[in-house]
Structure 1
């Protein structure tokens, strides 16, 4: 889209712009006409992507592209193109011959391969970094497309001899912007289906037509209707995606809350209270173990107290004198008993030993 804007806004001559427009604009629109359908079909067939209501959006986008491109007899029936290049023929004899015969087959094959690139791009993007998909597409595109360009391309080296510095800058920006667009496309294919991406990518025709109006290259009612259909499809698709994201977020939040609290929202059919979640069950087990440990500690303390009281009663009636030091005569214990003497007396030395 930005590449088309730069090309149309560049200070190229009319003949030079016709060369670019004939080779890229018309063929790109014709290929994009059915590439969305192929991407949706191959995505459902190979990647097992559910489509459902997406088929309606795919058909609307295809009709919109058809109204913008106006291939064949539709060009004259709907008022022709908006630029001189779109109303003229090709400079290459091979292309003129194909338009009279088998050009339709070649365009369908090109659209099919374009849809395959969407599906394979999603397949690779889900299994590797986006730059890997870009490198693969650039490599295979260069290997397969370069011989075709060298054979039937209308470009010649003399085309680049009279370009101004500003024109060289614009031509340098074209591949950079194309690479950035491809990077965004592959990144989007990691999380969205091929059909969804193909529908959204059709907006480039809408933006290109809008920039044609800004630059002042003509107005066509059929192209405006086609652009409106594509924009309408993109808006409906975006609204469905936003609603789906909100539902998924609400479901995830509800599941997290149930798991945290341990009380599911849906009750059992028999009216019994809901079973505790895994988090609450583990917490109850830990609390029960802690209670048992506390009870055991209390029983152990009571047993020790009873043993101490029994030992004290046994020593009340006995009087034992035990020297604590062989060289000291002051180390004695007096215990009252049958001899009738006083209670137990403990000296400093025996206290230290105790």
Structure 2
């Protein structure tokens, strides 16, 4: 009898072990396999407005009502006014210089080990005492000396996490200037408060405490413009910029006042204020009240997209588990396209939708989409429609 009970329990425990292993394997598959993860994320929600449809009250808004730019003179005037918000003067830029950073760092060593990188060097921009923003110059093994890309990462990570995107650009021969948000990577997180009502012990967070600083937007924009200056000094004639997540907001703002940025890409990180909800809520640069009061984000998109040879693309992950998901980009795409075209000064704009995964990142399809755009491709498209078109061909 004892042997029979022992055998019975062995069978029960063995069956339970097999069941747990199967469940574990399923969980791992859902987490690491894009197709399985997408199905899980898509169908675990009972709210169709998360991924499938834009809320009717948002879709009913007319994007054109948030656009004030209608002529080349408007572009020039608004660019000057946005510059005045950034630099808190009459609009004149307070230019900063990128200095070579002697020594080594963990981030620099990681970048040196990227595929297709011949050499990586570190520079820094010091706009105020103790406030440092680092630039990492990645030289390709087979360079295209006329083309460079500035890559700006977002929150909760570093540009080294975007290795596939950066390696694709370096492989194409682009000189890449990579940078992180303040508070991430090796950048500064805080600065001494400057507004008089704060005491000498006050420290302002460079993302969330900008109201405690003078010209705080310049701290974010100037590293990008210093990178443009650096690249021009090296004889680079074509300079593009790619921003990921919160880095998209910085790239959109920089491109709006810096015409030398030719093509700009905002990946999973910007939406007009009227379309934001939940985790799309503006933070950092996008939440700076004086900027919000002066220009809509739609106006900034137009400033960044207009001009001879210029264009801007917004790339969204439709099933993004973080934020900036769904098809909201399609709500304003046509209005911005029409506004840019009506100016008659060149430029282009479009929205691309990635439906291949459910992560907050740049997928393989997204990398290919960005590279196509930087190489002169159209700024609009989607993973589904592109696949259908390819099959038809």
Higher relative contact order, structure no. (Cα contacts within 8 Å, ≥ 6 residues apart): 1
**Structure of higher CA gyration radius:** 1
TM-score computed with the length of structure 1 as normaliser: 0.23
- TM-score, normalised to structure 2, is 0.22
More helix by share: 1
